[in-house]
Amino acid sequence: MMKRLFCILLSLVMLMSVSFALAEDTADAAAEAETAEVISDEPVLLVTVNGQEIQSDNDYLLYMQSNYLNWANSNGYDTSDASLITAVNQQSLYDTIGYFLVLQKGKELGLDQFTDEEKDAFAVTAKAQWEEIVNSFVSANEAITEDSSDEDKAAARADAEAQLQSDYGYDEARYIKEYGDQAVNNTIYQRVTDHLSTDLKVTDEDIQTYFDDLVKDDQEIYENDAGSYEFYTRYYGQPSYYMPAGYRGITHILLKVDDELLNTWKDLSARLEEQKSAAEEAAETTPAADAEPTAEPEPTEEPVTEEMVNAAKDAILESVKATVDEIKAKLDGGATFEDLIKEYGTDPGMEDAATLAEGYPVHNDSILYDPAFRDAAMALEKVGDISDPVVGQYGVHILQYLRDVPSGAVELTDEMKNEFRETILQEMITETMHSAVDQWIEEAEIVYTEAGEPWKVPEDEEGDAEEAAEAPAEEAAETPAE
């Protein structure tokens, strides 16, 4: 059933996204084609597990094959490679055997009983999902619009249901029944998991150890590399549990500047840098004195001088002089820098309460900031110092050295403790389930057929099979079976 449901849901996704994700649909279709090469249309008996048969068309097995292939494809592996296909088959069957043993253990423990109310809830969910699928097939019919008649909409629905019947073999009754069977197995699996993990507890010491390991890992990466710290934590938003030394918190008043003045300075500065780079390159490749020129030099723009750049900068500073003098007078009169940020500043970042309170974290090797801002920030000598006006890419800055940012491990907050507690608990549950399934496999009567022998994980690789299952299996937390 799972492969058929998977195909329906895949079609649903493709129908919803065809107008804006044709490339992704093509990739999905390619992955499905690769999956089809692995999954035989002729079912054969592969193995019996305590007398229960697993055939090559088992729903859970098919789902795991698709899952592993999609994972391999998304990670750049060649999914047509014969050795990879063999590994996929072996790992998928290994997981399926484990899944069957969990369900068998659930029956042994009496965890396979369901009330009428629970079964009715499964049916309600299944019916809602069926309606979503049918409606999506109908919405793919371009002839149907909001203005279509009820008769036309009913005809389109009938066509959609006929397509689901002809292409996938489903009507509403069958879908609801098989969805219910699938939900029962998923619930039994979860009940067994809960049963085995009832006594698992995460201690404060476990949390501290987990945190200390994170700090150690981040320290190894970031301690002497502020650029990497900013790249991963700010660009990619990765959490960091270690703060490199040398950061200071900087707040600033950003004054808006006339666009023409600012663009003139930026243009002249860029051209001057280009000239300097060109001159350096020319010096490195200067031809011999007696070499003949090969062509007339092309005419160039008027050279930019330092004086021209400085004049453009002075024009910017002059344009905000009255405001700067006003700010200085208020500072001398006892106004706080924070109040003046709110009164004069135009940087949206300073409107964030946390940033205003702690400042931007700036380091001598920072890569996130305008170099003019960074260099001015690092030129301030002590906490509390305020800079003279500095021209930068976004206008004129007046900076304040607000604080030194503590280096080392970050604070272990209650929010982090709760997050780590849940993460550790899930790891403990996973390990408990792995250990239990390993034991049940050792105790089970598992008999491979001749057709199933190539699907058997070699005994010396069974430990690796558990590890290999973790990455793609995490993407299949709820997996149905027959």
Which pLDDT band holds residue 385 (cuts at 50, 70, 90)? very high
The pLDDT score that the predictor gives to residue 40 is 53
Arithmetic mean of pLDDT, 187-213: 98
Q: Mean pLDDT: which of 137-151, 167-181, 317-331 is highest?
A: 317-331
State the CB neighbour count (10 A cutoff) for residue 474: 11
pLDDT at 478 over 90: no
385 vs 167: CA distance, rounded Å = 73
Confidence (pTM): 0.73
The mean-pLDDT minimum among 186-190, 282-286, 306-310 falls in 282-286
pLDDT digits (tens, 9 = 90+) for 68-104: 999 999 999 999 999 999 999 999 999 999 999 999 9
Q: pLDDT at position 24, please?
A: 39
394-432 pLDDT, tens digit per residue, is 999 999 999 999 999 999 999 999 999 999 999 999 999
Express as a percent the part of the chain with pLDDT over 70: 83
Mean residue pLDDT across the chain: 88
pLDDT of residue 389: 98
Averaged over 344-365, what is the pLDDT?
A: 97
Average pLDDT over residues 158-175: 94
Ranges of CATH 3.10.50.40 domains, the chain? 246-280+305-406
pLDDT higher for 209 or 144?
209
Q: Is the pLDDT assigned to residue 180 strictly greater than 60?
A: yes
The predicted pLDDT at position 411 comes to 96
What is the model's pLDDT at position 461?
Answer: 63
Residue 298's pLDDT is what?
55
Q: Kindly indicate whether the domain formed by 246-280+305-406 is annotated with CATH number 3.10.50.40.
A: yes
For residue 31, pLDDT beyond 90: no
Instruction: Tell me what pLDDT residue 302 has.
Output: 81
Q: Which residues of 266-292 are buried (b: 16+ CB within 10 A; e: fewer)?
A: eebbebbeeeeeeeeeeeeeeeeeeee
Query: Can you give the pLDDT at residue 416?
Result: 98
Mean pLDDT, range 119-133, rounded to an integer: 96
Closest by CA position to 282, among listed 290, 270, 274: 274
Give residue 237's pLDDT: 93
Q: For residue 207, how many other CB atoms are within 10 A of its CB? A: 19
Write down the pLDDT at residue 295: 55
